[in-house]
């Protein structure tokens, strides 16, 4: 999968590796506090970068609580409302822990919250997979410009942006390093997905 | 991916990889309680079958429905074809109703190709005469890939009535495209004329001697002997066919340990495949059927879910 328009240069770094780490730690604590512990918690990462983020949050929760937390991944390709405006691409792996999602508190994890359409698709996908007790949303960055009535429960960083700007999240697992940057006007560079 | 799937020639090795990746996910959907994805919501697919078929048609129907398409089955029996309507008129008529995809089977080789030139929607060939049956080959290759991993350098032996088989034609193309070595085995009377020109292709060979080929097979695919051929003078008797080309219990012992056995169905137990082979632990016959739905979902998804192609 390649990003349609990837900006040149490094843009403006708004979160460096330490900031990303601190944001994830805070999100982890918030999730624990909100859930009153790690019981029945399921962290579901949205492809692509939500998946490693969900794993990192799970590790943090485990180190605090000393119990293991269920982690899965969710692909929403077939639930998107813009399927018909692109060539098709193969869906990623959706993997759920053995117990499924029934009765669990599912925390959807994604890197950037923007229009909200991905989350809408994820909620539809969830309803085909089972009936969670509750669904919450954790994102590393909320850049605004919602097109649907959706908000995040846990936000790493609120990032006021213009629609013309691009936000790029890089993660060690997928891009060889952690950072969040903003780009003014689109041009072209490698690594990291831009939204 | 091309607009139509008329032949394995229409897909590249990369296309096949994307189809298999999708099929693997669709396979998981098959095991879910809610077997439904919204990808083809609001789209209508017609299964137009001018030849009898149970598994291919129902497999396409299930695949379409699990992707939320509206699927309509039309068979030639009871349609206006039996009243003398031409293929062109039948196809133009159903297309005029506003369908988004056409899955078709016809006894004439090249029928799907011809139809794709008349209409504007994607056409999927579900078998045309003795020409091709691309989704069968894709599901066979998918089944083998799931079992063996990469097919690069693997030796697949295809045995049976090659002259009348569209399955074998598509399979040779698909398997060699994925890097497998394919040997086809048949009695001289059922070896297609002109197959010698294929042999030039890397990794393709023919043989009349099953026992000589079987020990080096990584997988064996038995083809159905069509009932109507049995009295056609292609071989002296069903018994002799079995002795020369059937996957008997004895031959099962010659096969490499764990080599998968495939059959596109319907099987003639005791003729081309013994009950021991059909029910063997390495028999993939039912895996093929379940893979059939997953692979056809992948094909329908990639051809119909994205933006329209010219």
What is the tens place of the pLDDT at every residue in B230-260?
Answer: 777 888 889 999 999 999 999 999 999 999 9
Is residue A195's pLDDT more than 70?
no
Q: What is the pLDDT of residue B228?
A: 73
Decide if A78 and B32 are in contact by the 8 Å CB cutoff. no
Q: Taking the domains of chain A in order of start, what are their residue ranges?
A: 14-77+99-184
Counted domains in chain B:
2
**Mean pLDDT in residue range A122-141:** 96
Is residue A9's pLDDT more than 70?
no
**pLDDT confidence tier of residue B155, bands split at 50, 70 and 90:** very high
Query: Which residue of chain A comes nearest to B20, CA vs CA?
Result: A90
User: CA-based diameter of chain B, in Å?
Assistant: 56
Q: What is the pLDDT of residue A93?
A: 93
Percent of chain A residues topping a pLDDT of 70: 89
Neighbours of B248 (CB within 10 A): 18
Query: Which domain does B212 fall in, by range?
Result: 134-288
Residues of B designated catalytic: 55-56, 83, 105, 133
Q: What is the pLDDT of residue B196?
A: 82
Residue ranges of the alpha helices (H) in chain A? 17-35, 50-65, 117-129, 172-175
Alpha-carbon span B75 to B47, nearest angstrom: 8
Whether residue B58 sits in one domain with residue B194: no
| A129: chain B residues, CB-CB within 8 Å | 32, 34
In a domain, B310, yes or no: no
Q: What is the CATH number of the domain that holds B122?
A: 3.40.50.1370
Task: Identify the contact set of chain A against chain B, taking CB-CB distances under 8 A.
Answer: 75, 78-79, 83-94, 124, 128-130
Alpha-carbon span B47 to A6, nearest angstrom: 42
Whether residue B150 sits in one domain with residue B126: no
Alpha-carbon span B181 to B60, nearest angstrom: 29
In a domain, B100, yes or no: yes
Q: Do residues B19 and B27 lie in contact, with contact meaning Cβ atoms separated by under 8 Å?
A: no
Which of B32, B42, B299 to mutate against chain A (most A CBs within 10 Å)? B32
What is the tens place of the pLDDT at every residue in B195-207?
Answer: 888 877 678 999 9
What is the tens place of the pLDDT at every residue in A32-90?
Answer: 999 999 999 999 999 999 999 999 999 999 999 999 999 999 999 999 999 999 999 99
- End-to-end CA distance of chain A, in Å? 14
Q: Looking at A96-110, B31-45, B187-201, B234-248, which range is the least confident one?
A: B187-201
Residue partners of B194: CB distance under 8 A and separation at least 6 = none
Whether residue B230 sits in one domain with residue B259: yes
Alpha-carbon span B63 to B293, nearest angstrom: 5
Which of B19, B26, B39 to mutate against chain A (most A CBs within 10 Å)? B39
Residue ranges of the alpha helices (H) in chain B? 13-30, 55-66, 87-96, 111-118, 134-148, 166-177, 210-213, 227-230, 238-245, 249-254, 275-278, 285-304
Alpha-carbon span A106 to B194, nearest angstrom: 61
Structure pTM? Answer: 0.92
Q: Which of B61, B266, B306, B35 is nearest to B167 (CA)?
A: B266
Is residue A188's pLDDT more than 50?
no
How far off is chain B from A127, nearest CA to CA, in Å? 9
Alpha-carbon span A105 to A41, nearest angstrom: 5
**Mean pLDDT in residue range B105-120:** 96
Q: What is the pLDDT of residue A108?
A: 98
Is residue A189's pLDDT more than 70?
no
Decide if B25 and A86 are in contact by the 8 Å CB cutoff. no
Q: What is the pLDDT of residue B59?
A: 97
Is residue A5's pLDDT more than 70?
no
Q: Which of A128, A100, A116, A115 is nearest to A44 (CA)?
A: A100
User: Domain spanning A14-77+99-184 has what CATH number?
Assistant: 3.40.50.2020
ipTM over 0.90: no
Q: What is the pLDDT of residue A1?
A: 36
Alpha-carbon span B152 to B11, nearest angstrom: 18
Q: How far is CA B309 from CA A79, A84, A87, B116, in A?
A: 21, 11, 9, 13
**Cis omega (within 30 of 0) for bond into B266:** yes
In a domain, B97, yes or no: yes
Is residue B293's pLDDT more than 60?
yes
């Amino acid at each position: 999968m390649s990003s349609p328009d990837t900006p040149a240069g490094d843009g403006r770094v708004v979160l460096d590796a330490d900031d990303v780490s601190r944001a994830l730690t805070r999100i982890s604590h918030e999730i624990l506090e909100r859930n009153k512990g790690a019981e029945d918690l399921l962290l579901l990462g949205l492809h692509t970068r939500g998946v490693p983020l969900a794993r990192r949050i799970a590790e943090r929760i485990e180190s605090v609580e000393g119990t293991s937390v269920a982690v899965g991944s969710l692909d929403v390709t077939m639930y998107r409302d813009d399927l018909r405006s692109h060539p098709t691409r193969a869906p990623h792996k959706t993997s759920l822990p053995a117990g499924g999602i029934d009765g669990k508190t599912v925390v959807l994890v994604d890197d950037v919250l923007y229009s909200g359409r991905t989350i809408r698709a994820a909620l539809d996908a969830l309803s085909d997979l089972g009936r969670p007790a509750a669904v919450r949303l954790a994102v590393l960055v909320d850049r605004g410009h919602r097109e649907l009535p959706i908000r995040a429960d846990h936000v790493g960083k609120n990032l006021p942006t213009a629609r013309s700007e691009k936000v790029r999240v890089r993660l060690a697992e997928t891009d060889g390093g952690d950072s969040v940057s903003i780009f003014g006007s689109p041009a072209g560079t490698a690594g990291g997905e831009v939204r | 991916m091309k607009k139509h799937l008329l032949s394995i020639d229409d897909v590249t090795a990369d296309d096949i990889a994307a189809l298999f990746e999708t099929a693997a996910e669709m396979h998981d959907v098959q095991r879910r309680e809610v077997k439904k994805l919204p990808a083809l919501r609001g789209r209508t697919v017609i299964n137009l079958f001018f030849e009898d078929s149970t598994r291919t048609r129902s497999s396409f129907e299930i695949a379409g429905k699990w992707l939320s398409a509206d699927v309509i089955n039309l068979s030639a029996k009871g349609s206006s074809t039996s009243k003398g309507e031409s293929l062109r008129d039948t196809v133009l008529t159903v297309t005029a109703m506003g369908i988004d995809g056409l899955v078709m089977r016809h006894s004439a080789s090249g029928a799907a190709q011809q139809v794709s030139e008349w209409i504007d929607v994607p056409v999927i060939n579900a078998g045309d005469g003795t020409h091709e049956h691309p989704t069968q080959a894709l599901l066979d290759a998918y089944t083998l890939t799931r079992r063996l991993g990469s097919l690069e350098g693997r030796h697949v032996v295809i045995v049976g009535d090659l002259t009348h088989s569209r399955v074998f034609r598509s399979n040779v193309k698909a398997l060699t495209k994925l890097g497998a070595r394919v040997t086809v085995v048949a009695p001289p009377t059922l070896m297609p004329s002109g197959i010698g020109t294929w042999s030039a292709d890397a990794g393709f060979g023919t043989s009349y001697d099953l026992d000589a080929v079987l020990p080096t097979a990584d997988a064996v695919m038995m083809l159905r002997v069509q009932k109507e051929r049995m009295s056609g003078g292609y071989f002296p008797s069903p018994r002799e066919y079995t002795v020369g080309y059937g996957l008997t219990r004895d031959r099962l012992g010659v096969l490499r340990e764990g080599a998968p056995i495939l059959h596109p169905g319907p099987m003639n137990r005791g003729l081309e495949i013994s009950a021991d082979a059909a029910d063997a632990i390495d028999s993939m016959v039912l895996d093929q059927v379940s893979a059939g739905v997953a692979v056809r979902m992948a094909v329908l998804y990639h051809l119909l879910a994205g933006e329209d192609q010219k």
